[in-house]
Structure 1
Amino acid sequence: MRWQMMVAGAVLLAACSKENAEDAADPAVLANYVPPFVMSRLDYGGVVERRFRRLDVNHDDHLTPNELPKRLSDRFAEIDRDKDGRISNDEWSSWMLARFDQQDANHDGTVTSDERERAREQKEMDLPTPAEEPDNSATPVG
């Protein structure tokens, strides 16, 4: 019985892999491949914290207009809820998680490629990708 199960599994694997191998061998398919995007709210919370720390170049636990990426500079007043001229980690986290929640169309705690594309089509701001994060790795975080 065990031997029959192994043979059946091997046949299924061979059938699936032949189809996938043909697709994988096509350079056009490989050139246009976009990996799926899935991010949980919990994981995104960690991304938000790390992004705040990277943006806070003077390490004063606040973001000022000159520390924000250019694409967010016009949103400074929106993020700075208490209007003190700087963005605290709490203000940043609240704003970023609200953006995540807006993109999470089915409210399941994850944002998928489809939800992200829908947000782009509706001209909502997209979630940042690691490539858009500033590289402050040379600056020690203290």
Structure 2
Amino acid sequence: MAVALMLAACGKDPEQKMAQADHQAAAAGFTPPSVTSRLDFGGMMERRFHTLDRDGDGVIDRTEMPRNNSRLVALDRNRDGKITATEFSEGTLAWFDRMDLNRDGTVTSEERETYRRNPQPAPTPTGSVIPVP
């Protein structure tokens, strides 16, 4: 009984306070800042590749694309209709590098938002431009 009175006197428990703070932040449209390293991004993209490669054959073909007009098609460098693990890894890391505006090996939420507003195409070895995925 005494413990219940002491807890009641303290107000909301920490979980309730956290839930209320999350609700208030969401209501205000607040998204906490984030920082992603190139290494972490590469790991996330490797897991994404294996998730998309549903048949486990080491390539993502058109039947495994999330949708018909997927931006992933731009990663298919040799245009054979399949995205290999190498094409996927190199393409997504190049995308990360374009988002890393200050070239420090990390992408902050601010850099990501700036890139979304003004995406930069990727240069190719021949000097032509690959469309932004």
Sequence identity of aligned pairs in percent?
44
2:100 paired residue number: 104
Question: Where do 5+ consecutive residues of structure 2 fail to align?
Answer: 1-16, 122-133
1:58 aligned residue: 55
CA contact (8 A) 2:62 2:68 kept: no
Deviation at 1:86, TM superposition (A): 0.8
Per the TM alignment, residue 122 of structure 1 is displaced from its structure 2 partner at its CA by 1.2
Structure having the larger proportion of residues in helix? 1
1:74 Cα offset (Å)? 4.9
More strand by share: 2
In structure 1, stretches of 5+ residues that fail to align are 1-20, 126-142
Show CA shifts across 1:35-85 (max 9, x none). 212100011110011000000011100000121222862551x31112332
Query: Normalising to structure 1: TM-score of the pair?
Result: 0.62
Q: Is the 8 A contact 1:52 1:89 kept in 2?
A: yes
Q: 1:121 aligns with which of 99, 117, 120?
A: 117
Match for 1:34 among 19, 31, 35? 31
The answer as to whether partners of 1:39 and 1:111 remain within 8 angstroms in 2 is yes
- Quote the Cα distance in structure 1 between the aligned partners of 2:58 and 2:103: 31
Counterpart secondary structure, 1:111: strand
Q: Secondary structure at the match of 2:70?
A: helix
Check 1:74–1:35 CA distance in 2 against 1; reply closer, same or farther (3 A cut).
closer
1:91 to 87, 91, 102: 87
RMSD (Å) for aligned C-alpha atoms = 2.7
Name the CA shift for 1:102/1:71 in 2 (closer, same or farther; >3 Å). farther
Instruction: Report the TM-score when normalising by structure 2.
Output: 0.65
* Aligned counterpart in structure 1 of residue 66 of structure 2, from 69, 73, 81: 69
The number of aligned residues is: 102
